[in-house]
Chain A
Amino acid sequence: MGISNMYEEKNHKHENRFHYGQRNMWTGILFGFGVVAFIDEVIFHQLLHWHHFYDKSTANIGLVSDGLFHAFSFFATIGSAFLLADLHRKHGFWFKRWLGGILLGAGVFQLYDGIIQHKFMRLHQIRYNVDIVPYDLVWNVLAAILIVIGIALLLKTNQYKR
């Protein structure tokens, strides 16, 4: 296969991406959600044991929120994987826009986890028996950075939308 042929082939596979701009974004957002929840579970709950399974100071609304987001995280991961397969099937995958969605979704969920769930609902803290302020700062600033980069990527890919 010649180089020009390969180039055409590559172009051909993403020919419909402008039609599926919104879908690329939402597929990314859902995946970002799932990824952050997974990292949270594996690293902070299971490996480091910083987060607690249940903190006796949790409010009832915290339990509901935790349950909902816990169930939603694997819904989002599996669902976004199938949506991604669907985008490829339709030749509509758009990497940059998808990545922007991932960063936005990841950032929003981390910020929600860091501010609403950890602080207002007192689900559990990031770590116990330490000064919590630097941990909270790093957690939430990181979330804000993810959101900013995500939005920038989404705006950039938005210009090309017809």
Chain B
Amino acid sequence: MHAHEAHTQNFSIIVQLILVFPFIISFISYIIAVIISNQQKKQWPYFRTLSWILGHLCAILTLIGPLAEFAHVNFSAHMVGHLLLGMLAPLLIALSAPMTLFLRTIPVKMARFVSCILRNSYFKFLSNPITASILNVGGLWLLYTTPLFNMMHENSFLYILIHIHIFLAGYLFTIAFIYIDPTPHQRPYVFRSIVLLVALTAHSILSKYIYANPPNHVPSEQAEQGAMIMYYGGDVIEIGLVYILFYQWFKRTRCATFAKPLPIK
């Protein structure tokens, strides 16, 4: 029994390291990119660097250390992790405009090539708010309403896969609604607002559903607490997302206030 516990312990540390590794690499690359591009171009905003650091901190805290281990056994801790990794970290990382930094650091010719790739129809499909919402919120429904949640805790491979998915889907979701980086395929504000409303509705419904129908083997007390963390904690981050979306809309319509339509020739 004791040997088995030690085995899981070692194994889970390897899993944690595998998950954290890409974040550490991307963290360092961003800092290096800021230093390099500051030498050639104007100062990169401190706010963006700070946002990048905080976003990575949220993700790393969730994936390694005491919170990650506690999340294995406690559903409320798992939900805190879900909020940090799937919602707050993606929002902060999106706000730090990594693609803008990347494009300004690499040579112009290469930047043109990269932006050409980003314009292809695969990314157009992915960055559609509907696709992004299905991947993000649909994925959560799948995770919490099927036996997948239990399988995740028994199988390390699934554990890694699902955690990567939660982060990437959260990031895709964020950048599908608010445009910080250059976005080739922009959708109208009305369309984005409606899809966001539906997606956030599905998130609220899921948290109440978990309250009433906990995933297998989760004690109902923990499920209730976890569901309320998901419901109210989710609100806080969603309010930030909605605020940024509407603020961008408000700024965009500024010019239209005074502009008069051109006479038709």
Residues of A within 8 A of B (CB): 53-54, 56, 58, 63-64, 66-68, 70-72, 74-75, 78-79, 82, 85-86, 89-90
**Given B211, B235, B246, B257, which contacts A79 in the complex, CB threshold below 8 Å?**
B246
CB distance from B145 to the nearest CB of A (A): 13
Question: Residue B32 at the A interface, CB < 8 A?
Answer: no
A70: B residues at CB distance < 8 A: 201, 204
Q: A85-B250, A86-B250 are in contact. Are A75 and B197 (CB under 8 A)?
A: yes
List B residues 25-69 near A (Cβ within 8 Å). Answer: none
Q: A54-B212, A67-B208 are in contact. Are A82 and B201 (CB under 8 A)?
A: no
A66: B residues at CB distance < 8 A: 204-205, 208
Question: Residue B144 at the A interface, CB < 8 A?
Answer: no
Q: A74-B239, A90-B257 are in contact. Are A67 and B205 (CB under 8 A)?
A: yes
Q: A86-B250, A89-B257 are in contact. Are A53 and B193 (CB under 8 A)?
A: no
B212: A residues at CB distance < 8 A: 54, 56, 58
Per the bound structure, the CA–CA distance linking A75 and B227 in Å amounts to 21
**Assuming A68-B201, A78-B239, what are 9 further A-B pairs, CB within 8 angstroms?**
A63-B208, A67-B201, A67-B202, A67-B205, A71-B204, A72-B201, A75-B200, A82-B247, A86-B253
B249: A residues at CB distance < 8 A: 82
How would you classify the secondary structure of chain A's contact residues: helix, strand, loop or mixed?
helix
A53: B residues at CB distance < 8 A: 208, 211, 224, 228, 231
Determine if A89 and B254 form an interchain contact, defined as CB atoms under 8 angstroms apart: yes
Determine if A74 and B201 form an interchain contact, defined as CB atoms under 8 angstroms apart: no
Determine if A74 and B235 form an interchain contact, defined as CB atoms under 8 angstroms apart: yes
Q: List 7 A-B contacts (CB under 8 A).
A: A54-B211, A64-B201, A70-B201, A71-B197, A78-B242, A82-B249, A86-B253
Question: Residue B243 at the A interface, CB < 8 A?
Answer: yes
Per the bound structure, the CA–CA distance linking A54 and B209 in Å amounts to 9
Determine if A72 and B242 form an interchain contact, defined as CB atoms under 8 angstroms apart: no
CB distance from B224 to the nearest CB of A (A): 8
By Cβ-Cβ distance, the 8 closest A-B pairs, closest first, are A67-B205, A67-B204, A71-B200, A71-B201, A67-B201, A82-B250, A68-B201, A82-B246
Residues of B within 8 A of A (CB): 193, 196-197, 200-205, 208-209, 211-212, 224, 227-228, 231, 235, 238-239, 242-243, 246-247, 249-250, 253-254, 257
Per the bound structure, the CA–CA distance linking A71 and B203 in Å amounts to 9
Count A-B contacts at CB 8 Å.
64
CB distance from A30 to the nearest CB of B (A): 11
Closest to A92 in B: B257
CB distance from B81 to the nearest CB of A (A): 21
Per the bound structure, the CA–CA distance linking A67 and B155 in Å amounts to 33
Determine if B197 and A72 form an interchain contact, defined as CB atoms under 8 angstroms apart: yes
Among B205, B209, B235, B253, find the residue whose CB has the most chain A CB atoms closer than 10 A. B205
B208: A residues at CB distance < 8 A: 53-54, 63, 66-67
Per the bound structure, the CA–CA distance linking A82 and B227 in Å amounts to 31
A72: B residues at CB distance < 8 A: 197, 201
Closest to A56 in B: B212
Determine if B209 and A78 form an interchain contact, defined as CB atoms under 8 angstroms apart: no
Determine if A74 and B242 form an interchain contact, defined as CB atoms under 8 angstroms apart: yes
Per the bound structure, the CA–CA distance linking A90 and B204 in Å amounts to 36
Closest to B249 in A: A82
Q: A63-B205, A68-B201, A70-B204 are in contact. Are A75 and B242 (CB under 8 A)?
A: yes
Per the bound structure, the CA–CA distance linking A89 and B246 in Å amounts to 16
Closest to B239 in A: A74
A79: B residues at CB distance < 8 A: 193, 242, 246
